[in-house]
Amino acid sequence: MPLLLGCVADDFTGATDLASMLVKNGMSCVQVIGVPEGDLPEADAVVVALKSRTAPVTQAVAESVAAADALLAAGARQLFFKYCSTFDSTDQGNIGPVADALLKRLSAGFAIACPAFPANGRSIYQGHLFVGQRLLNESGMENHPLTPMRDPDLVRVLSRQTDGAVGLVSFPVVEQGAGAIRQALTRLAESGRRYAIVDAVTDAHLHAIGEAVAAHALVTGGSGVAMGLPENFRRAGLLPVRSDAAALPQAEGLCAVVAGSCSRATLGQIGFARDQVPVLELNALATPDASALARQALEWVEGRLDAARPVVIAASAPPEKVAALQQKLGREAAGALVEQALAEVAEGLVARGVRRLVVAGGETSGAVVTRLGVTSLRIGAEIDPGVPWTFAPLPRASGVTPAGIHLALKSGNFGARDFFLKAFDHV
């Protein structure tokens, strides 16, 4: 299976979001964690997940180019640079500098920039990004601690991050479809623009934009605009119609949920699960010791693990309890303690035969994946929007047979109330 689309994503959950979009549109896809070393896994699309959104510019550029090198060496025919649908960045970067460096690496002179994702309320009109009914700079994103977005005009925002000129393909053109968009892009490129912000307010627009950029070496945007790309490869006869794009190895073995997110959705999911399956709530305030917490959890699971329904181990707590632990240990140390405890729990669960594991929380997922030595995730079907089951090969030394586990890594606020139960009906 030759690699068709090579993707560089500027954060972990954004990478999964993109990978899931590609799978839904008929490409098999593997998410690789960090700049890949050695051979890439077989798939129609590979998404390299970096943590470059708020990294220093030079580091973000170097890692993105290294990822691009690996993808191109594996034969990728087109590169996709994925960033957030709210265009999270500052005047220093990292969207402009990374896109500039990728264009240079490809010896290309032009790319679109389209973070629109109408299904999630992100639309672009006359170059202005809306979140729901509000302009970006009135959406709450103006207060983001790391990337405050105070200007909704993406032409201006991107212009401040690059020495290239930025143009706009606006709504009336996009409405006319792929041919008109392609012509407008050609005109902008010929007139010396390096980027074009492209308006989009519906999925039909995103499909048309996708078709219009079939011949581009680099496409940049949110996961929305990627929905139109698989069809280009099918049209060119490079991608078969796949009914099995989301296929994963057969899932067997014991089930568990590990939760470190304190987001409202996760607290609701734990509450829902409490009436139906065994739930252990760890008390980090009473036992502020990661290994001791992990031991408590692993003693508790004895005799409770099951192949049909999960056990739930949660450190998650309501705001006042989180604040109490943070006051005692400091914010960073409190987070690190809980992450380490849950990573040890996850490792212990796998050692006890758990092969289907849901992890709730972005940072928590990062800690678990690192602890298990996971370097790639094959993307399967979605459980709820944005959260697919994945299959993660484990390092040979882990002694797990078969040589991997099914993982669902849930960003804290994602998923319906019954997520922890529903997930195990899906796999």
Residues at the interface with ligand ADP (CB under 6 A): 260-263, 266, 284, 315-317, 321-322, 325-326, 334-335, 338-339, 361-364, 411-412
Q: How far is the CB of 301 from ligand ADP (least distance, A)?
A: 19
Compute how many other C-beta atoms are within 10 angstroms of the C-beta atom of residue 74: 17
Q: How far is the CB of 213 from ligand ADP (least distance, A)?
A: 32
In this structure, are residues 410 and 358 in contact, taking their beta carbons and an 8 Å threshold? yes
* C-alpha dihedral, 296 to 301 to 302 to 308, nearest 10°: 180
In this structure, are residues 21 and 219 in contact, taking their beta carbons and an 8 Å threshold? no
Q: Which residue is closest to ligand ADP by CB?
A: 412
Output 159 or 326, the one with its CB closest to ligand ADP. 326
Output 174 or 325, the one with its CB closest to ligand ADP. 325
Quote the Cα angle for 90-94-100, to 5°: 125
Output 230 or 366, the one with its CB closest to ligand ADP. 366
Output 118 or 335, the one with its CB closest to ligand ADP. 335
Taken as a whole, the chain contains a residue count of 427
* C-alpha dihedral, 304 to 306 to 309 to 315, nearest 10°: 50
Q: How far is the CB of 328 from ligand ADP (least distance, A)?
A: 10
DSSP 8-state secondary structure symbol assigned to residue 133: T
Cα–Cα distance measured from residue 383 to residue 409, given in angstroms and rounded to the nearest whole number: 11
Output 36 or 361, the one with its CB closest to ligand ADP. 361
Q: How far is the CB of 226 from ligand ADP (least distance, A)?
A: 23
Q: How far is the CB of 349 from ligand ADP (least distance, A)?
A: 17
Q: How far is the CB of 325 from ligand ADP (least distance, A)?
A: 4
Q: How far is the CB of 351 from ligand ADP (least distance, A)?
A: 22
Cα–Cα distance measured from residue 241 to residue 48, given in angstroms and rounded to the nearest whole number: 24
In this structure, are residues 335 and 361 in contact, taking their beta carbons and an 8 Å threshold? no
Output 55 or 307, the one with its CB closest to ligand ADP. 55
**Burial of 154 per CB tally in 10 Å (0-12, 13-18, 19+):** buried
Q: Of the candidates 358, 417, 364, which has an alpha carbon nearest to the alpha carbon of residue 389?
A: 358
Q: Of the candidates 109, 43, 113, which has an alpha carbon nearest to the alpha carbon of residue 76?
A: 43
In 191-235, alpha helices (H): 203-212, 229-235
Output 5 or 359, the one with its CB closest to ligand ADP. 359
Helices 290-301 and 331-351 meet at what angle, rounded to 10?
30
In this structure, are residues 165 and 193 in contact, taking their beta carbons and an 8 Å threshold? yes
Q: How far is the CB of 360 from ligand ADP (least distance, A)?
A: 7
Output 162 or 316, the one with its CB closest to ligand ADP. 316
